[in-house]
Structure 1
Amino acid sequence: MAEQFSVGDHVRWNSEAGYVEGVIIKKHTHDVGYKGYVHHASESDPQYEIKSDKTDHIAMHKGRALTKL
């Protein structure tokens, strides 16, 4: 099971453009539609919405893709 994060945690993830840092703004524990895709989530494996520090872009990732800073 991936590490669990909370809203407000500062995290880093690897994107196509390199490492990005941001703050978790929402935790999803049920499947959610986002940017035309269904992102699967559950209580034990949630998806996190993260707002980039630099660009204010919103990304969605599972906990295994994130590193807490």
Structure 2
Amino acid sequence: MTEFRKGDRVRWNSHGSTAEGTVLKKITSDTDEAGRTVRASPDEPQYLVRSEASGGTAVHRPEALRRA
């Protein structure tokens, strides 16, 4: 599993195209982020990212992200 840190630039697939943005934080416990409930743990983290294009936030599993 690839690890990311706050401030890392990443890209991901979004609605048939590629989006780029920045990692805001690593999520390692169940919480509410980006308008939804996120199920995460230290063994299965998720990442809160901000899109450069829209400024919106989203949560992604590490396998959905690539370094930009």
TM-score, normalisation: structure 2: 0.87
Q: Give identity over the alignment, percent.
A: 36
In the alignment, which residue of structure 2 is the partner of 1:49?
48
Where in structure 1 are there 5+ consecutive unaligned residues? none
In the alignment, which residue of structure 1 is the partner of 2:25?
26
TM-score, normalisation: structure 1: 0.86
Aligned partner of residue 44 in structure 1, secondary structure? coil
In the alignment, which residue of structure 1 is the partner of 2:14?
15
Where in structure 2 are there 5+ consecutive unaligned residues? none
RMSD of aligned Cα (Å): 1.2
Show structure 1 runs of 4+ deviating over 4 A.
none
Distance, in Å, in 2 between the alignment partners of 1:63 and 1:23 is: 13
Residue identity matched to 1:44? D
- Give the length in aligned residue pairs: 67
What is the deviation of 1:38?
2.3
What is the deviation of 1:17?
4.6
Q: Deviations over 1:14-51 (max 9, x none)?
A: 0115110000011110011232x322111122111101
